[in-house]
Chain A
């Protein structure tokens, strides 16, 4: 049953990918045809429009910028075209040039109120992204419910990503990420109350001095876990690792995360003092379009406990996770910001001293923006666990978790 469920979830994820490949091939052929006409009629506005539109569709913002530069040369007072040009440079990460054109558009005195608001938003964002110290993050408050156990309660999640530009020619950044999650189930006996905090920090290097080449981040990570006061499950962990990612082309990015560390339990009455671990994650992201992404990540993790009594226990975890998400066009839904839908399927196999556990988890979520940076998120996940103790003794557990949360992105 589990295998079928996992395959069904994986197949559902595959359906998230629209037939974008064929569309892109069509767009490339069309664009080439338009360009050949443009060479002999370079000031034809309709051809320029078609060429720029197809270029944007193909994520070639440089070609769109070049076309808009030519249009502005022919129509120097066209402020709407200047705003489009600024956004093309913004998309390429050329924030200084984007700001130059946005400032010129703002100073023209011909912007409509909607255009003026748009220009102001882009100017602020360009300014923030150009800062040598930049941060972004989210704060979420919500309510969770687990159906089989009938447990529910409020929770808080928060995350921040802080990047400091180290000022060199290759824009090396020092990246620090911190995340907090807290859950307090309803009821007097709150054994499942928990708080986790995670901090990861390290420099991110461009390995080949290319802006979009491979990047490597050696890092140190610290984790805190505090359970209910009487649960005895408090733990602290540290690890060293290296995270790698490399966008091979517009569609495929490969990544890996290699780490090793130690977790120490703080409870007095546990038999386990803590455990050492090594973990490897290898994955690939596939983007059939800029708005859709699919990921596959393979996991291997080994743990070895430090026991107060007796020999260490070794545990090996292997897993495969498939996930996907799609951001809808803003115009499509006429909402303040793009809505995003996502889904995942995850299988983990845990082998420990004659015990084999198979955990299958799959779920889906919807992030619906009610304001530009405030969203309502709904998620549901189903977890099925099968434990095989050998000698034909097998147990199964299932649980469904649903959450609703209000979030703020900054």
Chain B
């Protein structure tokens, strides 16, 4: 019995533990390349798992999306290299997420982890903190640019330690500070880089049927990534009731007793 247990233990030690997948490649055009720690570079096709500390790179004509276990989606532009250097996702939803981007551009659409605390994207010149949010991050010409798309807040800390934040949808941050609202032409350029230029023709195709396809824009304001929203009429109940009471005859209080 003891000998059998000993053999089992030796066998376990002799077999290297397979690294746990932290996400999966959800689209790849034409391919992404991945280099797990201590392993050779491999092709990351659709459905391939990615692991902690893996370096993922797109070629000059490649792009792709990675879906993480916490529901975060990363979209990589051509000529982008990232290292998935921190991903802890506990069963209770806690954990942390961080990656390095040495070159290129990406879109980060947050999942569970970035809602509780900042997920970080570290470039050679800055650390971008994304909380409850979606953002575009670029590193080009030796500088970092972050565009806040939606959610709670986006912050950028330069390597010199200066930290700036924005909660404005479309707000742009660089190492030089807050730059105002994103220019539509610049935004289109970045989205074309990450997703490719929009294509027409092809018959249009059927929608996904997500249920979001309301024919009229909602008269409600925007919603946070966790469903929070402001109610512009929150103080209006008074007036609804007062409007009605305006029609009370004056003798209601002062007339017959």
Contacts and interface: CB of A to CB of B under 8 A. Distances in A.
B73 interface: yes
Interface string B214-241: 1111111111111111111011011111
Contact of B203 (A56, A110, A283): A110
A194 B246 contact: yes
B155 to A, nearest CB: 9
Interface of B: 23-27, 29, 46-47, 63, 65, 67, 69, 71, 73, 75, 107, 109-111, 132, 134, 149-153, 164-171, 178, 180-182, 184, 187-188, 191, 195-196, 198-232, 234-235, 237-241, 243-253, 257
A201 interface: no
A79 to B, nearest CB: 5
A125 B200 CA distance: 23
Contacts of A196: 246
- Closest A-B pairs by Cβ, 7 of them: A93-B222, A250-B227, A77-B202, A78-B205, A80-B207, A108-B200, A104-B198
B75 to A, nearest CB: 6
A62 B130 CA distance: 14
Contacts of B207: 78, 80-81, 83-84
B249 A151 contact: yes
Contacts of B75: 69, 73
A121 B216 contact: yes
B27 A206 contact: no
A58 B221 CA distance: 17
Contacts of A212: 132, 152, 224, 226, 228-230
Nearest to B225: A62
A96 B250 contact: no
Contact of A43 (B27, B110, B180, B232): B27
Contacts of B202: 76-78, 110
Contacts of B249: 146, 149, 151, 192, 399
B252 A121 contact: no
B237 A97 contact: no
Given A73-B195, A151-B249, 8 more contacts: A53-B209, A66-B73, A77-B203, A88-B212, A93-B221, A96-B187, A245-B234, A290-B227
A69 B234 contact: no
Contact of B65 (A69, A209, A337): A69
Nearest to A24: B227
A401 B211 CA distance: 40
A65 B153 contact: no
A379 interface: yes
13 contacts: A59-B223, A64-B210, A71-B208, A73-B26, A79-B205, A80-B207, A84-B208, A92-B150, A114-B215, A146-B248, A209-B165, A253-B231, A397-B252
Contacts of A379: 244
Contacts of B180: 167
Interface residues of A, number: 138
A278 interface: no
A255 B237 CA distance: 13
A210 B153 contact: yes
B200 A110 contact: yes
Identify which of B47, B63, B232, B240 gathers the most chain A CB atoms within 10 Å of its CB: B240
Interface stretch (A14-22, A33-41, A260-268): A33-41
B239 to A, nearest CB: 6
A281 B24 CA distance: 51
B230 A80 contact: no
B211 to A, nearest CB: 5
A330 B153 CA distance: 33
Interface of A: 35, 38-43, 45, 48-49, 52-53, 55-84, 87-97, 99-101, 104, 107-111, 114, 117-118, 121-122, 125-126, 130, 144, 146, 149, 151, 155, 157, 159, 161, 167-171, 179, 181, 183, 191-192, 194, 196, 198, 206, 209-213, 215, 231, 243, 245, 247-251, 253, 255, 257, 281, 283, 285, 290, 293, 295, 297, 321, 323, 330, 336-337, 344, 346, 361, 363, 365, 372, 379, 381, 383, 385, 387, 395, 397, 399, 401, 403, 409
Contact of A110 (B151, B204, B213, B239): B204
A87 B60 CA distance: 31
A49 B221 contact: no
Contacts of A97: 149-150, 187, 191
Contacts of A91: 212, 218, 222-223
A56 B211 contact: yes
A308 B170 CA distance: 58
A169 B217 contact: no
B210 A56 contact: yes
Contacts of A75: 205
A401 B241 CA distance: 11
A84 B212 contact: yes
Nearest to A92: B150
A46 to B, nearest CB: 10
Nearest to A43: B46
A79 B205 CA distance: 6
Given A383-B248, A409-B219, A245 B230 contact: yes
Given A107-B200, A194-B246, A40 B47 contact: yes
A403 to B, nearest CB: 7
A95 B247 CA distance: 42
A101 B204 CA distance: 14
B226 A249 contact: yes
A253 B178 contact: no
B134 A82 contact: no
A79 B204 contact: yes
A213 B219 CA distance: 21
A45 to B, nearest CB: 8
A201 to B, nearest CB: 14
Identify which of A77, A97, A171 gathers the most chain B CB atoms within 10 Å of its CB: A97
B27 A401 contact: no
A90 B217 contact: yes
B210 A211 contact: no
B24 A39 contact: yes
A344 B26 contact: no
